[in-house]
Structure 1
């Protein structure tokens, strides 16, 4: 072992440790890997930064945009709901239809996006059919993972192993190269869940009973939000004049939430407009952190009468009754309300809203906290948040949508913003046409994969399916940086000779028993790592090892690399192995052991299927 080998091993081990402990964000760790490889001289600057220009990275980013258009236009939701209408009331039939539907959708779009779209519909189905959501949601998550293994674009590891083949001079995988094995594995997985897995799942309903996915208007009624609205007029001489809403501390000191500022026109504005209206219209202003309060502003607030009166006395404000139109301060085209569920690994657990400075950090106001089994109103200042708590938040729709970027901390229930900010139905037809066109280009190999994906991404913006801002939001930048940062680690492993060392170790240890034993070893190693690491990071490290192992044995490498890609999708045994598993954990009230009981037997069953059938599809 050379010094460079030890350096690379040390960097890799540190990265794996940080991925598992999550002391740092995975994208931060990936950037650290790039810098460490440059600073130690293992890679040149060009080699270390090559991942950011990789065709695999560009393809995945473009596919995020196309998938975002499919989600935002409502196309995915419409397809999913149409499929679920045939599910009926039988648990057996529901599991069959749910897994089949989500596997089909996940073959062509993001696993996480597919689950997020179908999750509310399935929770509603479970409530209507009196079937525990715990019986349906792990099948939903597992079905999405199985579907990702069916096409080239189903999941990033599939694209990565195809690029490894191409870069090594072999024929890469085509769009449907994964489909024969993927369909078999999906069928086996669905059969397992129907006859064995669903019997191992718990029958818990406590959290979900508090978790019916409601529309924004229903939330207003459920939490009786319009009832505590009042107006506060800013009098002459008030110390609030010139302060921002945050500086007023109305929320922190008096538990009074400013929902909107109604600003009367100035005399200059009236003179310019020539208005003779005896009751000129006020201008509604959303109370952003940079908006300062002016004299005669009317603050539309929510709070208990006593608290509002105390705030009025402190700041020399006039209390006025709310007008009927003030309820629009809670729900309009710009602002709205939504429910957020706190998953088991949220960084907010054990903290109060004040501890995390929720309003400042996320630019949203928490109106209520709901806790399963607790009927009393929880204090917004002092309540320490727990797993399963639901926060009702109010603010701009765009800020609510941005919470989807914090997947570890929140699950945004349903698609609340779609009630207000949904493109016309014609845009869904455009999104469908563009996606079909992209698939035709990919399947027919008329242009390279990255070209087809980039053309489709551009078209969804040009046709208005997504604005450019929403296109940027649709890209999971954490995943993009993770892939870009870990690809140079693959280069470093090969450059210093560690890939050869590890591959030779595999061959020496298992090679005597034949290529099948080596493939089984690669499958087990990949599936073990993917339970605790990103499937993408796992694939980036192990795919080159599989390639060299095949070359050392003197066999075609396609079977080994396909085994690695499939194993990377077998993230069944841990709630943190995949975002889809985490997404359903809170809604199904699952425990870690539930994933182990169902996931480990399923992984072993998939291993048997791969060992028996993959060599027939890709002979050694």
Structure 2
């Protein structure tokens, strides 16, 4: 055995290990093998890269580009609609049509891309017919492999063989040279699966259970998504500030990451309540989430609140910290944005204290208000940084104001409070960003008062300490909601998944279409709840279900994600027909 043979075998062994373990991406492994062969001298450096000029390689790359075009243009939506129309409710006809479709598509594009295009179609058909997806996915894969043999570009080896023959001077294969044999193999394969092979296909659940005959939905919900384990019941005590609040005002999702699925009131269960549903004392809330979120909020302790006096801002406006008023320009890119979405404080190094629109003052909970041209913003910041706003095209005017005028004009004393961080609080040592005071409750910390020195306009990375006194701007009603959430009473009983479903309300699992413009966007960006009127309970990705709506709200959607939604079945049907 020569030294070159030993080197080649060693490189192959390492490549196999990397391919199997996936420690390195496949394309990275391929380049490593190429470089190793060239560096070791087994293959001359000039020969190592000449393959990139081979017509076969260019042809394969062109096929991949074609596949990408078909993938992005929504071919799967058209194909899926036609397959559903022609197949009806016959599993046999569905299997045959899907295999023929997959085989024909594989003849003109990459096999993997053809299968990826049709997976959402298969999932939707299997759900409609009540079949296990495995009984359609396996025939789909078989047909893609067989279809790749029907044309010259159907699979890489066909192209390589044709290229080798051309180099030998014997002429390459024609485009349809493989068709007689390939089409025959595809036809026989379809007939075998439809007539006999389908009886041997595994009847596998999409969940983690070992199967049974108990049906799909309950198995998926409890097995794949572990839904039964994440359901909680919480009671609203008498005298709670949540009494009379709408679901939006209650902030269950923003503050705790909970999805409210149902409300039990005086023995009656209200499933999938609308956002304007009003809560009442003694309501029992059935939510999806983790009890640890509530325990952590309660561990904040009682943040003793004191209403600030009229000169509260006077202590803030000192040294180089001043108040200024700016006006949104007519063609400003801030128009139709919110203070929260543009991250105003970090973008302009100033805090928005209040907004005046016409003769109306918007103070307290204005973070989600969409800005309009002509809006006047009262800003608090350092003088040198506010001076820079003179050159910002987003604003048409800037002027300075004093504490007396601002307090009288904007009634600032109504929106300022002082909170005391108690000893042993969970907040001790946590950053302002981790507390989520502003994002969850629209409470903005303007100053931290502590014995070793006050911190005006603290950064989000500033850590709080036990004993800190926080000068906070916000609506007192938002602080009342915070205290009311801390006072929620967990119940020992665990609700049943079955009782959450009815003829009108239920769960469903949906997947994104391959051409979906939602891919790469977060749920916060697409406003899922507002757009579809459904609760998105979980995202299943890579064998794992993600539940917290705080986390999934900032998770970018990806093709192949399975979304578990809950709500009115008519709205679910509309979502299923959405081309996105």
TM-score by length of 1: 0.42
Bigger fraction of residues in strand = 2
Larger RCO (alpha carbons 8 Å, 6+ apart): 1
